Structure 1
């Protein structure tokens, strides 16, 4: 019998900071991906640099690509295959302009090395305006927790006659009071 070389599947490290984390609504996607071998939990991590983390319409969390501002953000890292990445990209609305996936350096929360990962950031078309509005309201956070998630509205329960970008636009144009 000839021994077969062990195949390695290329993966991307994804830093999750919101609803994809364990215990939150969209984590079911990562659970599905872990069951099929398309993802694995790496550990609890935090950003090396400070970033703004805010909640927008429906208490959806957004990381703003403005390193050096905001807080060190707490989250989790998953190793995701190309197929799994396609599914997380779809959930995050990359093709619809909801988020962009970009590099981020994170470090293990319990000490340890730095991991070059990728994160889903608010799309540049609205990111800075969202951050400005939330900063004025005192709404920049370091961790998406149960407190923020209490107001989260599942996609199926949101008004369906508007797109998510429409909801973001309405949120940005609404009064901060």
Structure 2
């Protein structure tokens, strides 16, 4: 696959690293960024830069203003976020936070755009054509992101009137409640179901 190809490119990896696109509370200045800071200190993650999705995806808020990226490509907007190069052990820590084994989020591939090809020399061997493509918006690279689980993503989209944000900023996060401060005795999925059930937009 040559540079500039519109096809999929491989997941950006270096020596045991995966590029992870963060769009919500793992970003700098938000409540879960402490985990990323710990991973940077331990050598499990490195900051790459500010990127946005190469395609449009819905970014919405659910219960307690928790952000969710929905795997409904072509809907919503191109979403801004931060890109990190993460080791295998770091991925395991992120998976645990995002509840991938419990049906909370799914870690799935997507393409992100921005920066320049030289940024990836440390992670993907100097910009291999199978890993990086040059497009109209700059370097396009395959990464992974934590999407809302498919079991409830469609209902969240309806709850938000099928309208999404381009970035999860302080404005969108206003009213966010940390996990430890939410009502106890209910699971994450219980909170999702209650939020969806209370929406007049979901039949």
TM-score, structure 2 as length reference: 0.79
Q: Which runs of 5+ in 1 are unaligned?
A: 1-7
CA shift digits 1:41-86 (9 cap, x unpaired): 0000000000000000010000000111100000010000000000
Shift of 1:115: 1.4
Pairwise mapping of residues 111-126 of structure 1 onto structure 2 (< 5 A)? 112-126=138-152
- Whether 1:159 and 2:183 are equivalent positions in the alignment is yes
Shift of 1:109: 5.9
| Mapped contact 2:20–2:85 kept (Cα < 8 A) | yes
CA–CA separation in structure 2 for the residues paired with 1:65 and 1:30 = 23
| Mapped contact 2:57–2:79 kept (Cα < 8 A) | yes
Q: 73, 81, 97: which one pairs with 1:75? A: 81
CA–CA separation in structure 1 for the residues paired with 2:111 and 2:170 = 25
Q: 30, 33, 48: which one pairs with 2:36? A: 30
CA–CA separation in structure 2 for the residues paired with 1:44 and 1:108 = 7
| Mapped contact 1:102–1:119 kept (Cα < 8 A) | yes
TM-score, structure 1 as length reference: 0.91
Counterpart position of 2:170? 146
Q: Which runs of 5+ in 2 are unaligned?
A: 1-13, 117-136
| Mapped contact 1:104–1:119 kept (Cα < 8 A) | yes
CA–CA separation in structure 2 for the residues paired with 1:109 and 1:122 = 26
Aligned residue pair count: 168
| Mapped contact 2:115–2:139 kept (Cα < 8 A) | no
Q: 46, 54, 59: which one pairs with 1:48? A: 54
Counterpart position of 2:108? 102
Higher strand share: 1
Moved over 2 A (4+): 109-112
CA shift digits 1:110-151 (9 cap, x unpaired): 863111100000000100011111125x5x211000011121
CA RMSD of aligned residues (A): 1.6
Shift of 1:9: 3.6
CA–CA separation in structure 1 for the residues paired with 2:15 and 2:36 = 17
